[in-house]
Amino acid sequence: MSLSARRELLLSLKPEYRRASTDEKKRLLEGFVTATGYNRKHAITLLGRFDGIGRKKGKRKVIYDDVVKEALLRLWNAANRICSKRLVPFLPPLIEALERFGHLTLSEVERAKLLSMSAATVDRLLKPDRQRLGGGKNTTKPGNILRKQIPIRTFADWNDVVPGFLEGDLVAHCGGNTRGRFCHTLTLTDIVTAWTECAALPAKTDNSVVAAMEKIQKCLPFPVLGIDTDNGSEFINYELADWCTDRGITFTRAREYRKNDQAHVEEKNGSVVRRLTGYNRFEGDQACSALAQLYEAARLYVNFFQPSVKLVKKVRDGGKRLQKTYDKAKTPYQRVLDCPQISKSSKNKLKKQYQTLDPVKLLAEIEARQETLWHTANAPLEESAAESPTENDSAVATDSTPQPEVRKRGRPRKAATRPIAKKKTRPQEGKLGELGDLIDDDITHLLAERLRKFMPF
């Protein structure tokens, strides 16, 4: 029996099959299976469907109207477009903060709908807006001094720690070129509360790292008890070791070539530093000052209005599947308030500061300071490329020996608080015009002689 014949038989039997009794349904089903050759269970499914015949499938009732969707979109943008698993637990304090500064006005019904959303519902409502929106080099050099004196701490050694134990790392703003002097960012993140502080460094030196550590220590809501770093020479030196010893701070280091030993700070390097600054090259005092001003505004937004989840446990099922369990998404500020080891005076100070912070205003201030920072990107290299050629340059241009190409740096890519794509370089211009200068005179005469034999003048 052909497919069209089976479909005609199915359409003719459906009404009779639905109205029939149990014995009649059995008889009709056996005849339908014998005629079509279908499996019995598949035949029952086909005869029992309501597609095309009988009751039509009704549309799903609309629960979240355009007003609720618009409010959700505004909350999502104010939270820096974080994922739904982090956004949903953070909605109550975020709604309160936006209403306090007049950025959002909700009725009781709209507020109840927003707070009753699941993470899957948020993903479904934000899917059109997400669709509409459209690594750097390793600069760590090993420090051989004091490596044997500084103990190693692995990723498994962070159990039962208290606030004050930090992981530290440097982020290089070299723009893909590690030559010369360029800015760095020192990132410190607390293991328990995920409180993160960033400091701009004009260069990667031991003195600049110690000065940044001293500055960050004053901004933390708890005393520094321990610091864990990688094996770079900017950390493994006498300056930082003596600074930690004088203050009673435990100084440990990670294993070589084991990024997972510093998983906490490595994650912040991507989600905070690279998302704010991108992969451009920043060098000089002006760029370092603009970078420091950006971090002054970003630290308040990240620690008070950017929730994150923490890994609670990992269970391997049968040696194949690894099941991970995460806690409820919280901001570092909320984790500090829930931590019993932190003093009440520090918590009260943070509560007063939180009441004065406007997340929308902070986000706008971050974007404005990013604009200032982008004007300093690649500025020294562009100025040197725009200089007029010297006498030596003109002499090299007439030489028959091919010279190495000097790649022009493209327009500084704006790194925003949004996800950043990898850097693209512009194609080299003027290569065809330079081709004649690279051909030797003897080769030119040889080609001319060959052409005369086949093309008489």
Query: Which 3 state secondary structure label does DSSP give 52?
Result: coil
266 Cβ contact partners less than 8 Å away, ≥ 6 residues apart: 169, 259
pLDDT tens for the 457 residues of the chain, in order: 788 888 888 888 888 888 888 888 888 889 889 888 899 888 888 888 765 444 555 667 888 999 999 999 999 999 999 999 999 999 999 999 999 999 999 999 999 999 999 999 999 999 999 888 764 455 555 555 455 556 666 554 555 578 999 999 999 999 888 888 999 999 999 999 999 999 999 999 889 999 999 999 999 999 999 999 988 888 888 899 899 999 999 998 888 877 778 888 999 999 999 999 999 999 999 999 999 999 999 999 999 999 999 888 888 877 678 888 999 999 999 999 999 999 999 999 999 999 999 999 999 999 999 999 999 886 444 443 333 343 333 333 333 333 333 333 344 444 544 433 334 333 333 333 443 444 445 555 555 565 555 454 4
Token reading at 418 = 């949004």
Query: Which 3 state secondary structure label does DSSP give 56?
Result: coil
**Cα dihedral 80/86/89/92 (nearest 10):** 0
Neighbours of 36 (CB within 10 A): 18
**How do the domains of the chain map onto residue ranges?**
3-48, 66-132, 155-374
The answer to whether residues 237 and 206 touch, using CB atoms and an 8 Å cutoff, is yes
The answer to whether residues 216 and 199 touch, using CB atoms and an 8 Å cutoff, is yes
User: Pairing relation of β-strands 165-172 and 226-229?
Assistant: parallel
Closest CA to 328 of 310, 303, 302: 310
Closest CA to 26 of 37, 40, 6, 12: 40
The Cα–Cα gap between 33 and 50 comes to: 19
DSSP string spanning 386-431? TSPP-HHHHHHHTSSSPPPP-PPP-PPPPP-SS--PPP-PPPPP-H
Give pLDDT, residue 261: 81
The Cα–Cα gap between 232 and 241 comes to: 13
The Cα–Cα gap between 98 and 74 comes to: 9
**Cα dihedral 128/100/219/312 (nearest 10):** -50
Sign of CA dihedral 155, 196, 79, 87: positive
Give rounded-to-5 percent helix, strand, coil for the chain: 50, 10, 40
- Which CA distances in Å does 26 have to 38, 42, 56, 255? 15, 14, 25, 71
- Which CA distances in Å does 86 have to 127, 234, 331? 16, 34, 9
Sign of CA dihedral 167, 173, 179, 180: negative
The Cα–Cα gap between 305 and 96 comes to: 12
142 Cβ contact partners less than 8 Å away, ≥ 6 residues apart: 231, 232, 233, 236, 256
Domain 155-374 is classified in which CATH homologous superfamily? Ribonuclease H-like superfamily/Ribonuclease H (3.30.420.10)
Q: At what angle do helices 359-374 and 285-305 cross, to 10 degrees?
A: 160
The Cα–Cα gap between 83 and 49 comes to: 38
Token reading at 348 = 């009260």
Give pLDDT, residue 157: 53
